[in-house]
Amino acid sequence: MKKLCAGLLVLMQLALLPLAMAQEVVSISTPQQLLDIRQHPGGHYRLAGHIDMEGVPWLPIPFSGTLDGAGYSIYNLRVSQLGEDTAVTVDGNDKEYDTRFAGLFSVLRGADIRNLDLKNVQVDIDTQDNCFAAGLAGFAEDTRLSNITVSGRIHLKQSNVMTGVGGLVGFGMAEVKDCTTQAELVFVDTNPDIRCEQFMGGILACGYGDVVNSSVRIRAYASVHGYVHIGGLVGMYHVHREQDQQRRGLIEGCRVHAAIDFFEKNTDRRAYCYAFTGEKLNKLVKIKNNKVLRFRDKEHKRYDKPLLPEKDENPVYTAVLTPPTATEWGFTTYTCDQCNYSYTNHYKAPGL
C-alpha cells in the first residue's frame, strides 16, 4: 500500500511539472536577455535591473506573455524598423487593412505588462506600409497594461492609407490603468495623392478598452493629406470587434497636458482634435471625471512643408550634459541654436 501511494505521489508531481515550468518567471537584466524574449514570446518575465539599450539594434517583438518591470527602466531604446508580423486594423468605416507595427513590441495578444518604465524610447519610422507606431506596442488585443511610464519621441513618416501614432499603444483593445506618457508625437504623411486615415493619441491612437487614472503630457505634430483623428488620450474610440459591440468602455480619472499642431489638406474636411477623445464612434463608452491641465490645438493652413518640432531646416545643436547622481538619472540636453527646440537623449542610470 505504501509503495502504491508513493507511486501515485510521483505521478502527480510529474503531472504538475509542466504547469510549474510554464509558470516559471524568467529574470531579465541585460540587453541580450531582453532580445531573447523573442524565442519564447508567451513566457513570464521580470526585470531584475535597469537595462540600457543604447546602440542595440531592435526589431519589435510579438508578445503574448507577462512582463513585470518591477519598477525598473528599459532606457535608450531606439526603434527604426517595423516588426515582421502583421495584424488587421480597421478605420471608422470598418474597412480592413493589413498593417505593420513599431514599438518595443509589435503585436501584443493576451499580454499582461505592468510596473515598467520605458525611458527615452526613440521610435523613428519611414515606411510605405500601413503602419501604427507607439512607445510600448504598435498593436494590442485583449491586453492589460498597468503602471507603465513611457517617455521619449515617436516619429512616423508614412505613405499609405491606414496609419497612426500612440504614446503607449497604436491600435487595438487594451485595458490601461495608472499609466503615464510624456512624449513628442510626430506624424508626416508623405503621399499627397492618397487620403490617409490618420490617428494619434497620448495613450492610444485608435481602438477601445478602459483608460483609467492615467496621464499624458504630449507635444504633437500631424501633417495629413487625409482625415485627422487626434485626442489627448485616444485618437478615435472605436469598438472594431463584433463580439465587443455592447462592451461598456470607460475613460475616467485621467489628466491631459497637450499641445497639438496639425493640418488636414483635404477638401472633404472633417478633422477631429479634442482633449480626451478625437472622435467617439462608440456610444456606450463613458468619459467622465477627467481633467484638462492644459490643452492647445492649432490647425495650420499652409501645406507646403510638414509640421515638425525643429523650426530650422538645418538645425545646429548645442549639447549640455547632466551627469547622473547616486539617486537621479543623467542625460544630455540638445538645444537648437536657431529655434531653441530641445530634447533629451543618452540617459545614464543613477550611480553610473
pLDDT confidence of residue 312: 81
pLDDT at res. 352: 75
Identify the residue with better confidence: 6 or 339: 339
Rounded to whole angstroms, how far apart are CA atoms 155 and 87?
Answer: 21
How far apart CA 53 and CA 56 sit, in angstroms, is 5
Weakest-pLDDT range from 134-138, 176-180, 267-271, 282-286:
267-271
CB-count burial class (<10 Å; 0-12, 13-18, 19+) for 124? middle
Q: Give the model's pLDDT for residue 346.
A: 97
Mean pLDDT of 338-344: 92
Higher pLDDT, 290 or 340: 290
Residue-level pLDDT at 4: 47
Please name the amino acid found at residue 177: K
The Cα–Cα gap between 75 and 87 comes to 27
- Residue 314: the pLDDT is 84
pLDDT at 313: 80
User: CA-based Rg of the chain, rounded to a whole angstrom?
Assistant: 21
* 41-309 CATH: 2.160.20
Q: What is the pLDDT of residues 237-268, one digit of tens each?
A: 999 999 999 999 999 999 999 999 999 998 88
Q: What is the pLDDT of residues 191-244, one digit of tens each?
A: 999 999 999 999 999 999 999 999 999 999 999 999 999 999 999 999 999 999
Q: Is the pLDDT of residue 22 over 70?
A: no
H or E element in which residue 166 lies: strand 162-166
pLDDT tens-digit map of 137-178: 999 999 999 999 999 999 999 999 999 999 999 999 999 999
Cα distance between residue 275 and residue 346, in whole Å: 31
With a CB cutoff of 8 Å and minimum separation 6, the contacts of 227 are 195, 196, 197, 198, 264, 266, 270, 271
Q: What is the mean pLDDT of residues 336-352?
A: 93
Q: How confident is the model at residue 20, as a pLDDT?
A: 41
Measured CA to CA, the distance from residue 333 to residue 346 in angstroms comes to 9
Mean pLDDT, rounded, of the chain: 93
DSSP 309-340: S--SSS--EEEEEE---SSS-EEEEEEETTT-
pLDDT at 300 over 80: yes
pLDDT value at 17 more than 90: no
User: What pLDDT does 269 receive?
Assistant: 84
Parse the chain into domains and list their residue ranges. 41-309, 314-352
120 CB contacts (<8 Å, ≥6 apart)?
Answer: 75, 76, 77, 151, 152, 331, 344, 345, 346, 347
| The three cell numbers locating residue 65 | 506573455
Query: What's the start-to-end Cα distance of the chain, in Å?
Result: 63
Q: Give the type of residue at 33.
A: Q
Position 19 scores a pLDDT of 42
